[in-house]
Amino acid sequence: EAGVAQSPRYKIIEKRQSVAFWCNPISGHATLYWYQQILGQGPKLLIQFQNNGVVDDSQLPKDRFSAERLKGVDSTLKIQPAKLEDSAVYLCASSFQGATNEKLFFGSGTQLSVL
């Protein structure tokens, strides 16, 4: 079974530039998550999708971050314009239904460096 796919693996940009990350969840998983993991910290949820609808985006900095999952399958997370503090690993995860007891399956992440 294919896991959660993310690309690119690494990205280096200058501040004020734009960047986009892509995620393809496990086939059949309705729930997709984007997490931000700053070095030395635990992952923090940015946005959660159920199919193509947003369930939780309370911690997404909406003035610069946007995300979509138009067909309820793969998803794109965009940052525009990037700031130095956006340097982090962006993790995508998926689960079957998003229930309280479900385990999440994670991709390898995209490591973003903003210079």
Given candidates 28, 42, 70, 71, which one binds another protein under the rule CB under 8 A? 42
Give whole-number Cα distances, 16 to 31, 45, 86, 102, in Å. 31, 23, 11, 37
Q: Which residues pair with 65 in a beta bridge?
A: 79
Given candidates 36, 48, 75, 94, which one binds another protein under the rule CB under 8 A? 48
Say whether residue 107 binds another protein (CB under 8 A). yes
Given candidates 16, 44, 62, 83, which one binds another protein under the rule CB under 8 A? 44
Give whole-number Cα distances, 71 to 3, 27, 30, 45, in Å. 19, 13, 11, 21
Q: Tell me the longest C-alpha to C-alpha distance in the chain.
A: 40
Say whether residue 94 binds another protein (CB under 8 A). no
How many C-beta neighbours within 10 Å does residue 88 have?
Answer: 20
Say whether residue 71 binds another protein (CB under 8 A). no
> In this complex, which beta carbon is closest to another protein, that of residue 14 or of residue 102?
102
- Residues binding another protein (CB under 8 A): 3, 33, 40-45, 48, 55-56, 89, 91, 93, 98-109, 111
